[in-house]
Structure 1
Amino acid sequence: MQPNTNLVTHDWLNEHLHQPNLVVLYTQMDNPVTGKQEDSPSAYIPNSQFFDFETEFCDLGSDLPHSMPNETRFSEGVKKLGINDESVIVIYDNKGMYCAPRVWWMFKAMGHQNVYVLDGGLPNWLQQKMPSVANLIPASKKGGFTGNYDSRCFVTAETIIRHLDSLIVLDARSEGRFKGTQQEPRKGLRSGHIPTSINLPFTDCIEDMNLKSRDKLKAIFAELGVAKDKELVFSCGSGVTACILALAASEAGYKHLAVYDGSWCEWGASSYLPIE
């Protein structure tokens, strides 16, 4: 693990797999459009547990998908996974770099700093013929995790409207969806984007299922004219791929970061929120 990074490599993880305070979390999500559950992979990284941010670590009272849960619900769920405040957490997903950053950002929002994303995820792990097992494991004991939620990490539509002149909104959706030339995949949503927002498709930050190098990410944000002292808010379809941009910005050295949890699922469905 290198200092000042939110990523770990496959080699690092393989070397530290049996470290006592290491917790490895696997996550995946259902198809965001159809809701159809994806098939489980045929192999996992040894000692992995499942982190379900769609039906367990979410706000069940919200009509928006996988919204951030409150501090109590999150902490109780994390304790069941055997996680402590001293735990070093590594998260990976089934696509390489897709929904693992969402889980990383949730832990960051809860004040846990020793949390990392496995660069390249499960696909690269298996390609490199690292050790694998057929099944995930259950937690062996209850942990002592104490979350400390930082409300600045997730913003609401009201916050964006109120501070639109002082913050920069970066939209992780495709260019077609951002410009309104491509129909939204979810029914009932308007086409377009939040006024003054900038389009940065999350795929622009990924190369061969890995996050692009720090130098390349710095160049991307510099080309967009994003100053280091600005507050950045990341949006997407439902608050998942927005976290890839949060991860990329953090790697590029940006500090004032937030995710719009409702994202286009909320903004696009509302008749009173302005669009361009």
Structure 2
Amino acid sequence: MAERTKWLVDTEWLEANLDNPDVVILDGSWYLPQLQRDPKAEFARAHIPGAMFFDIDEIADLSTDLPHMLPSPELFSTELSKMGMSNGQTVVVYDGVGIGSAPRLWWTFQVMGIKDVYILDGGLPKWKAEKRPVTDVIQTRAPGHFTAKLDHQAVRNFDDMLEAIKDDGVEIVDARSTERWRGIGPEPRPNLSSGRMPGSKNVPFQDLVDDNGQIKDVDFLKQRFVAAGVDLSKPIITSCGSGSTAAILFLALDTIGQKQLSLYDGSWTEWASREGSIIEKD
């Protein structure tokens, strides 16, 4: 069997651990508005037993109008403690498409210093296809004690990116569609120009995921980045539309052994709306 990322747990393992108090299951589903999917409503109708819903737009930095920006460690710690989470637990995250927004939640935990966090292989679609149990019962836990510590090296902001576009020793890799990256297709957010950051490379996140919602094997991932002209010997910053699917690239690059990795949290939504940014188009 082809080698795949170490950050996956399979559906069989999760079903066997549904009653394990040291395993916390989180539904991190999030969708672009034009998909007209309500992740909270879908969760309320059917979710993996014991799972809790993690709203990446609510447990976020709400002082900005940018979507689901990384929360402060203090806010993250407070909210997770309220949910009944404590340090030392194993966290399993999933979403409603397989590999969609779950990697963003996985990345968030990684950035907050929690390494014992995994993604459900195939997510909810695979779980349901295998006729595994779902429920509409909302799980509640007694308050826990969770403490986060932010890894500043894994996050990049606008000022960092202004420097990065001038640095030949850094790679910027964009997860958006090739049409949006080239500037010949529209952005899903109104009044936002498409295009790219100078020097960035393009690896659409869809290329890294199978039709069944599972991330592809290590050899394919490496070949795909190399084919896009990414120099894997350099530090890499991943970006996308709003910082969500950039985490799929982050996961894929981690899978192939890339150590110097960070993610541009504001991503294209911030870059294309800020004065001082440079936008290239074909």
Q: Does structure 1 residue 23 correspond to structure 2 residue 24? A: yes
Give the CA deviation at 1:223.
2.6
| Counterpart in the other structure of 1:109 | 111
Map Cα deviations across residues 150-182 of structure 1 (whole Å, 9 max, x no partner).
111110121122133221111000010000110
In 2, the alpha carbon distance for the partners of 1:114 and 1:4 equals: 14
| Greater mean deviation of Cα atoms: 158-167 or 246-255 | 158-167
Q: Secondary structure at the match of 2:244?
A: coil
| Counterpart in the other structure of 2:154 | 153
| Counterpart in the other structure of 2:14 | 13
| Counterpart in the other structure of 1:192 | 195
Give the CA deviation at 1:269.
1.3
In 2, the alpha carbon distance for the partners of 1:133 and 1:266 equals: 38
| Preserved CA contact (<8 Å) 2:4 2:217 | no
| Counterpart in the other structure of 1:52 | 55
| Preserved CA contact (<8 Å) 1:110 1:150 | yes
TM-score scaled by structure 1? 0.93
| Preserved CA contact (<8 Å) 1:188 1:269 | no
- Give the number of aligned pairs: 273
Give the CA deviation at 1:215.
2.1
Map Cα deviations across residues 119-176 of structure 1 (whole Å, 9 max, x no partner).
11101100011122123312x2111111010111110121122133221111000010
Instruction: Output the amino acid matched with 1:97.
Output: I
TM-score scaled by structure 2? 0.91
Q: Which runs of structure 2 are paired with 1:46-195 in the superposition (5 Å)?
A: 46-55=49-58, 57-138=59-140, 140-164=141-165, 165=167, 166-195=169-198
| Preserved CA contact (<8 Å) 2:201 2:229 | no
Map Cα deviations across residues 173-210 of structure 1 (whole Å, 9 max, x no partner).
00100001101121221221000000000000100211
In 2, the alpha carbon distance for the partners of 1:81 and 1:169 equals: 35
Shift of the 189–4 alpha-carbon distance from structure 1 to 2, 3 Å rule, reads closer
In 2, the alpha carbon distance for the partners of 1:94 and 1:19 equals: 23
**CA RMSD, 1 decimal:** 1.9
Shift of the 129–34 alpha-carbon distance from structure 1 to 2, 3 Å rule, reads closer
Shift of the 215–111 alpha-carbon distance from structure 1 to 2, 3 Å rule, reads same
Instruction: Output the amino acid matched with 1:234.
Output: T
In 1, the alpha carbon distance for the partners of 2:172 and 2:15 equals: 37
| Preserved CA contact (<8 Å) 2:203 2:225 | no
Q: Does structure 1 residue 248 correspond to structure 2 residue 252? A: yes
Q: Out of 248, 260, 264, which is 1:260 matched to?
A: 264
Give the CA deviation at 1:240.
0.5
In 2, the alpha carbon distance for the partners of 1:178 and 1:4 equals: 27
Give the CA deviation at 1:34.
8.0
In 2, the alpha carbon distance for the partners of 1:204 and 1:64 equals: 26
Structure 1's unaligned 5+ residue stretches are none
| Preserved CA contact (<8 Å) 1:27 1:100 | yes
In 2, the alpha carbon distance for the partners of 1:253 and 1:32 equals: 34
In 1, the alpha carbon distance for the partners of 2:37 and 2:4 equals: 39
Shift of the 3–220 alpha-carbon distance from structure 1 to 2, 3 Å rule, reads closer
In 2, the alpha carbon distance for the partners of 1:237 and 1:258 equals: 16
- Tell me which stretches of 4 or more aligned residues in structure 1 moved more than 6 Å: none
Structure 2's unaligned 5+ residue stretches are none
Give the CA deviation at 1:3.
11
Instruction: Output the amino acid matched with 1:23.
Output: V
Give the CA deviation at 1:116.
0.6
Instruction: Output the amino acid matched with 2:91.
Output: I
Give the CA deviation at 1:14.
1.5
In 1, the alpha carbon distance for the partners of 2:117 and 2:4 equals: 13
| Preserved CA contact (<8 Å) 1:97 1:211 | yes
